[in-house]
Amino acid sequence: MLLDGKKLVVTGVLTKDSIAASVARMAQEQGAELLLTSFGRGMRLTQRVAKQLPVPADVVELDVTDPEHHAALAVELGSRWGKVDGALHAVGFAPEACLGQESGVLAAEWADVATAMHVSAYSLKSLAQTVAPLMPDGGSVVGLDFDAAQAWPAYDWMGVAKAALEATSRYLARDLGPLGVRVNLVAAGPLRTLAARSIPGFAAMEDAWGRRAPLGWDVRDADPVARATS
């Protein structure tokens, strides 16, 4: 069992089709104990999926942009387990003006861009800062990425946020590596998750990816990404 006895925090579980849900299920199958996070209106959805996992998991509130939520999560993890072995960052959001607009990146104002950057990139730092003190023997932080090396159709400021996420992960790896904490990203590709379906022009991204993806890529199957992440 690859993850036997490991204590993992998983963010981003919203529906049973989300990548994070596949990661959670596979991690449990490999022996891990999980704590899921969610917040706001998504809490009920996350709790529903948590009950359907091989081992029903608890869900705690975490708005990744709220320092008080991070502080409360650290207290909860400390009292529950005393340590953490790994955390999955599977959180991303951009306001409507940041995605799929006719004028592309020219459409969004800074307030919308700032929200996208905070939720989708800076929150990786926030999560790592929360769990790293609970990893005295080392651990791992993994985030979900999308290829930011080129400009994709409709992805606009979320593509910029993913580029920022990639840079953030490199600097976190530099700063946390000496403490034994690994920081890595997994580029999932355009899987047909609820989040992906909310992106205007997602079909164009899917078509563009299909010309580059490995043979046999299935946009409905998150298991290959879950295996890489676990």
> Strand locations in the chain, DSSP E?
7-10, 33-38, 58-61, 86-89, 139-145, 181-187
Q: What is the set of active-site residues?
A: 155, 162
What does the pLDDT look like over 7-38, one tens digit per residue? 999 999 999 988 899 999 999 999 999 999 99
Query: Under a CB-based contact definition with an 8 Å cutoff, are residues 104 and 89 in contact?
Result: no
pLDDT confidence band for 214 (50 / 70 / 90): low
More confident residue, 220 or 130: 130
- At residue 1, the pLDDT reads 81
Say which residue, 212 or 137, is predicted with more confidence: 137
pLDDT band at 152 (very low <50, low <70, confident <90, very high): confident
Q: Which of 73, 82, 202, 84 is nearest to 142 (CA)?
A: 84
Q: What is the mean pLDDT of residues 78-100?
A: 96
Per-residue confidence (pLDDT) for residue 89, from 0 to 100:
98
Rounded CA separation 12/19 (Å) = 8
14 token code pair: 């919203």
203 — pLDDT class (breaks 50, 70, 90): low
Query: Hey, what amino acid is at 200?
Result: P
Residue 221: what pLDDT? 59
Separation of alpha carbons 58 and 139, rounded Å? 21
The whole-number average pLDDT for the span 70-96 is 97
Q: Percent helix, strand and coil across the chain, each rounded to 5? A: 50, 15, 40
What are residue 86's DSSP bridge partners?
Answer: 8, 140
Q: Give the pLDDT of residue 148.
A: 87
Domains and CATH numbers, the chain: 7-229 (3.40.50.720)
How far is it, in rounded angstroms, from Cα 62 to Cα 65? 8
Residues for the chain: how many in total?
Answer: 230
The DSSP result for 28-93, as a single string, is HHTT-EEEEEE-TTHHHHHHHHHHTSSS--EEEE--TT-HHHHHHHHHHHHHHTS--SEEEE----
DSSP 8-state class, residue 178: G
Q: Is 229 a residue whose pLDDT tops 80?
A: no
